[in-house]
Amino acid sequence: MTENDIKFMKRAIELAQEGMNSNAGGPFGAVVVKNGEIIAEGFNRVTSTNDPTAHAEVTAIRAACTKLGTFQLDDCIIYTSCEPCPMCLGAIYWARPKAVFYGCDKVDAAKIDFDDQFIYEELDKEIGDRNIKFVQILQKEARVAFDKWEEKEGKTEY
Amino acid sequence: MTENDIKFMKRAIELAQEGMNSNAGGPFGAVVVKNGEIIAEGFNRVTSTNDPTAHAEVTAIRAACTKLGTFQLDDCIIYTSCEPCPMCLGAIYWARPKAVFYGCDKVDAAKIDFDDQFIYEELDKEIGDRNIKFVQILQKEARVAFDKWEEKEGKTEY
């Protein structure tokens, strides 16, 4: 843990409080750092923007990608005031930063009624056993788009 | 599988092709349905908008929530041309629709090099064993924001 790590995590925690105090959403903040500088900040905006995906990490990742003009966070570090939920963890893997520092963990989050653990457990279940009903239909028809993607020339892969 | 299920899934597949053909992103489409009507549509826009979170499901969920003026998709059904990745699955659990219909599955997705399986496996690992480095720091300092959330009056919970 370096001086910079402490500084950036403190900023993420500060953002968590700023977001909460301004009634943007839950008490979560995040920053994205590249080359020792903060390039984007975010806090939870779920309830104020009616966007269930507007968690601190997603908000910060989107802002960082916009700033960098890319959909990949190469060589970036994310500092988040709380361990990412499964959605944010997925977003982090798609964005591919080199590291993530987090403050609170999912046990702390569960104590204030943000129960990420439930979603982690649902992900581990067979798709037919989940709490939300998942049904596969028209697989053959849907594959046509995938076949066309394979044949497509000049596509941007990711 | 009803006539409506077929109609809505066909629209999701059509959107997958529209998005791909317009170079918005990968071959994925989704619609959100409430009371037998499509209230929002989306296709993958990752590469065109430099947003790694702009998967079809996330895009459709955000649009549906904006339209409904809420952060919860009560009584809604999502039709997506492909089984949701872990990020989208997390987004779905936060949005809480009543059901999800999907066309292709993650095996089909892996065949065209969208390897969601890798992320599913990473989620199952202990946090210290993951491919991206995760480090917990300043937990005590971060908990202060959570304590303040607990004490906060008039907060919007979710």
Q: What is the pLDDT of residues B102-133, one digit of tens each?
A: 999 999 999 999 988 889 899 889 888 999 99
Residues of A with CB below 8 A from B104's CB? 139, 142-143, 145-146
Distance CA A1, CA B2 (A): 56
Q: What is the pLDDT of residues A88-143, one digit of tens each?
A: 999 999 999 999 999 999 999 999 999 888 898 998 898 889 999 999 999 999 99
**Is A69 part of the contact surface with chain B (CB cutoff 8 Å)?**
yes
Q: In percent, how much of chain A has pLDDT > 70?
A: 100
Distance CA A94, CA A62 (A): 12
Name the residue type at position B64. Answer: A
Dihedral over Cα of A143, B9, B31, A52: its sign: negative
Distance CA B101, CA A139 (A): 11
Q: What is the pLDDT of residues B28-65, one digit of tens each?
A: 999 999 999 999 999 999 999 999 999 999 999 999 99
Looking at every residue in chain B, the average pLDDT score rounds to 96
Q: B132, A10: Cβ pair inside 8 Å? A: no
Size of chain A, expressed as the number of residues it contains: 158
Confidence grade of residue A158 (pLDDT, cut at 50, 70, 90): confident
pLDDT of residue A110: 92
Looking at every residue in chain A, the average pLDDT score rounds to 96
Name the residue type at position A49. Answer: T
**Is B75 part of the contact surface with chain A (CB cutoff 8 Å)?**
no
Distance CA A35, CA A18 (A): 25
Q: In percent, how much of chain B has pLDDT > 70?
A: 100
pLDDT of residue A73: 98
CB atoms < 10 A from the CB of A51, how many?
A: 24
